[in-house]
Structure 1
């Protein structure tokens, strides 16, 4: 049985103790005064108080992370999806203006030095406080760009802060960088499993430096383009430090059909050299499986993969899938032939066996898609705990920072600066391709016209390299929560106007979906009814019937792009992405009314 670390046992108790301390931005609660007077006395107090700052994703991260991107779509409600098909305003977009995380960090930073511990230990805890404050402000900058910088605990009598104006993005980011720099120089290099150490802070810092550097480069409305390269150069430096000195390595046992996928179905990620940081779960103590992931992660509830991601994977010989004759008309079985092995470890493929069926209508066994209105026909297996063993499912850890991401940060920042060498590729991108059994990337690679059309604004002299590094990032990090931010920082939100699509059917009639050469389903025209007595295929298995049609005829089982053939249709109209407006969010109008000093809304809001 897996044993969770003492740190997590302590953490679970600490979080229960602190659960009464949640506060709003304007609230001053009695526990604050108690804490100031009697709590920050020793290192145990500091450790307990620092746990309140932890805000990392937990189980379910694979399920919602890439929704409303060109990787995945959702039938549920999502902010950006709703914005694109409606008329959003500062009155309707009211979430996000929450300052509890910042307040918690500032409260900790104002009080931690009361403890009787060494200066070195105090610096470690200051580093933790500033690390989490930086993370909290990163989310504010991403959403609003200009926000008030607050570095003290706010209560109702702090009118100077309560009625403060926005600070410019450049100032706020400067403060964020100061917090990160202190953190990476003072947090302990080692820590118990599940606790933040210096390498976690550096990985997070490099992530933000790449984000902000490329965001400034590709968003002229900020008027900060001239400062982009300095941030990208710093991203290179921090990522290189992790590469050179962190002791991490890409998990590779020489089995390209399993090594990648095993990272997301692992009960002891802290023993894997690629993992910089993870959520550590243990059965009946801190369960890693809190819902039916066969419906959630698998893509049979709201969120599901779409065709654009499927078409992004290279062929196994390294050539472009888009170079295959009539590639867009390949049916499901043919789509998966001779592709990058990571595709088979991310998406359910012909011949894959479903063990944990949950409420999946088709049940366990050889995978056959369950088609339904507004679903793509593709299913996700990355992060799917495909076992009926509850104890094993509850022990599965969640990777949060992988060395693979740091390698991709390094390569992308280098290419954006026009500094990428073959040696850089060999220690970054090609480490990931080697694990997958894929040919290595070289300088001056051929340009895929499909990829180039997605990113017409790439300005680096190493444009061809950037296009392939972006592909590599998409494939390696699929469903880990990066794609939305990537599309936003690259200033390609317009890609989301393309209606997401599902699998392709060339005709009505019988189709083989599991790759055994025997048809599994029958597509009927909208004018026909599903027979009460179903035929069986040559294996004696009853056919699954679907009535198909277009959005013009909603009384069908599956929508296609034409009445008798085409791609499965997910949504009739994805809407409009307004630029630069939708790269940001407005401050809720209610907050402007409370504090007129916040000023006018930015970027068309």
Structure 2
């Protein structure tokens, strides 16, 4: 049974005028005060329910047409959709409007925080929902800072004539100092997940958000030369360490067996009893809240696929080395796609569908993926690497909006990665056996990361500038983060905070297609098919070049420092000249 929060999320704010304060007369605040003065616990909860669908996107809007969390990686070097992503190519223009530069959520949060003490309910109840409001206010500000950098900080309701309506942008140091203060207050007020359940914001979720925000901010400052990095890295390390304490009860989901545990984690109808999930978003067609993820992946009407670069970060299972260095047949030197995918970190074949018949074939059913409309197959991919993560064959349907899979918004694995990375950056103990090696143990990957790993030239090229004391360890932790969080929407933000945006200018490649040689290789292409791929796409070092021949402007153009932030919407600058444009975006 799913909880009723799904059906409640469609309610209007009971204090709806708080969402459009700038357009309202001051007299309208009287009704807001009166409403709070007569509020019940249910009223306060209903107010908070409206933040959930706006900020916890999960697998997308109810009954929408979305790949959900996968879409976050479209603008990175992890997933290459058939239609190129403008952000991944750094070809997004200066914006006139931007949905992220909206202040309705901040206004609604400030309205609650200004009036909630008027509610005639127990203080613990008021503080519980004030904690939820602070959580969402922090999340909205975090999203804005990641996108725009400096933004105005508002901690009160604005009314017509308020001089703050026309203030400039506050520095990210001011904004994030306030966010850190507010998330600490949320942690103090919120009950634990054991009380709230996995689908409602809890103390645990607030600690997870703090860890995520502080890791981003600490590393962004470190690699973009902004003061204050150590404070935030320490806060990330400590928040992750708090959640690792036994009293919180978290552990990694083990699944039915190591060869399926990772895949099974992402295809569950609910996470009520899952020990890894800290916060999830619920979906239930029976309550009008379905998603479309398995259908979008399985039908392949909008082809997507993993990049070759992403696949090459999965280590060899025989040696524990990078596949460029292991010397194994099919790895260092390509033979077939099946050989390339086999004998790797087991998470690879629980993330990518194999053309080989067996437990890891998923939607391919023992056949190769089609290459979009060029060579259509049972399942169409953009790169030849078919995405299996978040695909549940048991609930796949050709009919839209039947998806029941809940979305894991915060999970314990991310907390372990944060602990390891923040620790390595600070020169503290990354607790590798509790963090990175625990993630490997879950899937039966027996090669453990050590404190002094061998240098991988691929990672040196990928992450050339490391400011922590143990560069090779930090690079390996970044590899682990990419592998463990693949297709969950983190990669773009990670590249931005590490000042590695130039990675987006690298060639965007797919599989090395195998030529038929009279055998039963399910990946092989006939001479005619191979010629089609060569003519329509072309190759780079034998791998499919996904965009160069068929896209009008195929050259990615990430520019430093411009593209580390988005532009401030010009319409907003027109209304408020005190808002200054980000570097590189001036017309």
Assess if the C-alpha contact under 8 Å between 1:511 and 1:519 holds in 2: no
Answer whether contact 1:297 1:383 (CA < 8 A) is retained.
no
Q: How many residues align?
A: 552
Aligned residue among 535, 547, 562 for 1:571: 547
Return the offset for 1:352.
Answer: 4.7
For the aligned residues, what is the CA RMSD? Answer: 3.0
- The answer to whether the aligner puts 1:169 opposite 2:165 as a matched pair is no
Mapping of 1:127-142 within 5 angstroms?
127-142=131-146
Superposition TM-score, scaled by structure 1 size: 0.84
- Find the counterpart in structure 2 of residue 319 from structure 1: 321
Q: Are the structure 2 counterparts of residues 458 and 501 from structure 1 closer, same or farther at C-alpha, using a change threshold of 3 Å?
A: same
Q: Secondary structure at the match of 1:293?
A: helix
Query: CA–CA distance in 2 between the matches of 1:257 and 1:370?
Result: 26
Contact 1:147–1:166 (Cα < 8 Å) also in 2: yes
Q: 1:111 aligns with which of 108, 115, 122?
A: 115
Residue 45 (structure 2) pairs with residue 47 (structure 1): yes
How far does the alpha carbon of each residue in 1:385-425 deviate from its partner, in whole angstroms, 9 at most, with x for none? 2135669963322111110000000000000011135xx11
State the alpha-carbon separation in 2 of the partners of residues 452 and 58 from structure 1: 33
- Given candidates 16, 25, 33, the residue that maps to 2:11 is 16
Q: Report the counterpart of residue 153 of structure 2 in structure 1.
A: 149
Structure 1 503/36 Cα, relative in aligned 2: closer, same or farther at 3 Å? same
Residue 581 (structure 1) aligned with residue 562 (structure 2): yes
Secondary structure of the 1:399 match is strand
On the 8 A contact 2:138/2:182 being kept in 1, the answer is yes
Is residue 298–residue 304 contact of structure 1 (8 Å, CA) maintained in 2?
Answer: no
Give the Cα–Cα distance (whole angstroms) in 2 for the partners of residues 58 and 511 of structure 1: 45
SS at match of 2:370: coil
Correspondent of 1:38 among 35, 39, 50 = 35
Do the aligned partners of 2:91 and 2:556 also contact (CA within 8 Å) in 1? yes
Q: Secondary structure at the match of 1:72?
A: coil
Matched residue, 1:58: 58
Cα distance in 1 for partners of 2:361, 2:252 equals 29
Q: Retained in 2: the 8 A contact 1:249–1:274?
A: yes
Q: In 2, distance between residues paired with 1:490 and 1:232?
A: 13
| Unmatched tracts of structure 1, length 5 or more | 358-362, 525-544, 551-555
- Indicate the residue corresponding to 1:280 in structure 2: 282
Distance in 1 between residues matched to 2:187 and 2:459, nearest whole Å: 36
Q: How far does the alpha carbon of each residue in 1:9-36 deviate from its partner, in whole angstroms, 9 at most, with x for none?
A: xx51352344994955743399976443
Q: Is the 8 A contact 1:95 1:588 kept in 2?
A: no
Query: Any gaps of 5 or more consecutive residues in structure 2?
Result: 60-66, 375-380, 549-553
Q: For residues 95 and 13 of structure 1, do their structure 2 counterparts lie closer, same or farther at Cα, with a shift above 3 Å needed?
A: closer
- Inter-partner Cα distance in structure 2 for 1:13 and 1:459: 47
Distance in 2 (CA, whole Å) between partners of 1:460 and 1:364 is: 43
Check conservation: 1:50, 1:108, Cα contact below 8 A.
no
Deviates more, 1:483-492 or 1:344-353: 344-353
Which one has the largest radius of gyration? 1
- 2: distance between equivalents of 1:19 and 1:125? 14
**Which segment is superposed worse, 327-336 or 176-185?**
327-336
Q: Deviations over 1:332-389 (max 9, x none)?
A: 12211211111111001132579999xxxxx974232102359211110100121356
Q: CA 1:590/1:209 → structure 2, altered by over 3 Å: closer, same or farther?
A: same
Verify: 1:219 aligned to 2:224, yes or no.
yes
Deviations 1:415-454 (A, max 9, x none): 0011135xx1111111101001112211101111111111
Distance 1:396 1:588 in 2: 35
Match of 1:452 in 2: 460
Is 1:407 the counterpart of 2:438? The answer is no
Measured in 1, the distance between the counterparts of 2:392 and 2:86 equals: 28
Aligned to 1:89: 94
TM-score (norm 2): 0.87
Map of 1:591 onto structure 2: 572
1:471 to 451, 469, 479: 479
Q: 1:314·1:340 contact (CA, 8 Å) conserved in 2?
A: yes
Q: Please say which of residues 134-143 and 57-66 is displaced more in the overlay.
A: 57-66
Q: Which residue of 1 aligns with 2:355?
A: 350
Give the secondary-structure state (helix, strand or coil) at the position aligned to 2:278.
Answer: strand
Q: Distance in 2 between matches of 1:456 and 1:25?
A: 47
Residues 45-70 of structure 1 deviation map (CA, whole Å, 9 limit, x = unaligned)? 11111112222013232331211212
Structure 1 counterpart SS, 2:387: coil
What SS does the corresponding residue of 2:231 show, helix, strand or coil? helix
Distance 1:604 1:169 in 2: 18
Cα separation, 2, equivalents of 1:153 and 1:263: 42
Please tell me whether the aligned partners of residues 2 and 282 of structure 2 are also in contact (alpha carbons under 8 angstroms).
yes
Structure 1 residue 210 displacement after superposition: 0.3
1:84-108 alpha-carbon deviations (Å, 9 max, x no partner): 247x3355x7443211111121122
Question: Secondary structure in 2 aligned to 1:548?
Answer: helix
Contact 1:592 1:598 in 2 (8 A): yes
Distance 1:375 1:32, change over 3 A: farther
> What's the offset of the Cα at 1:286?
4.4
How far, CA to CA, are the matches of 2:348 and 2:221 in structure 1?
A: 32
Q: CA–CA distance in 2 between the matches of 1:356 and 1:312? A: 21
Q: How does 1:157-196 map to 2 (within 5 A)?
A: 157-189=160-192, 190-196=195-201
Describe the shift of the 1:468–1:115 C-alpha distance in structure 2 as closer, same or farther (beyond 3 A).
same
Alpha carbons of structure 1 residues 281 and 349: separation in structure 2 relative to 1, 3 Å: same
Tell me how far 1:184 sits from its aligned partner.
0.8
